[in-house]
Amino acid sequence: MLELALHILDIAENSVRAQAKTVTIAVTEETPRDRLVIEITDDGIGMSPEMLEKAMDPFYTSKKVRRVGLGLPMLAEAANRSGGHFDIQSTQGRGTRLTVEFGLSHIDRQPLGDVSGTLVTLIAGNPGVDFVYRHSCDGRIFLFDTREIKTELEGVPIDHIEVLKWIREHITEGLSELGTHA
């Protein structure tokens, strides 16, 4: 994967397959500490310790459509290449939390990429799941929460094309105002 937004998409889709009702994606940029942290948390079914161990094996996947599960190992390797680290914790019946840290200015760190496109894709494909996106850049914060949007829509589907266009523009504008470095 060429950008971190695609890793976010892959992980969030795993959360949806794990029956998550809410997926929280937090991106934190800290220029003084030269770090970029991505944390994805869900309230899905979680994984057993055995399954969690297998999740890092590139030749294991729980998906039925392919025989390899490269997403997590590739993300862990991307973090390691940039001087960061990778951690995943999961509890059956409670959900999963994945934390990945990168060197913000490291030459080998992948760009963050199209976060607004990633979120629109997740929302369009999973209108029954709530997505919370929090992006912090040197103390400034942008927050997007589909639960708030759904309340304001008063019955209009969140996956309506005009709503999705507005969501994309809103997220793009919010991140632009934030002045992200990623």
Over its C-alpha atoms, the chain yields an Rg (Å, rounded) of: 16
Q: For residue range 48-98, list pLDDT tens digits in order.
A: 998 888 888 776 565 555 444 468 999 999 999 999 999 999 999 999 999
The answer to whether domain 4-178 has CATH 3.30.565.10 is yes
Residues 6 or more apart in contact with residue 160 via CB below 8 angstroms: none
Task: Identify the three-state secondary structure at position 23.
Answer: strand
**pTM exceeding 0.85:** yes
The gap from C-alpha 44 to its chain's centroid, in whole angstroms, comes to 14
In whole angstroms, what is the distance from residue 69 CA to residue 56 CA? 8
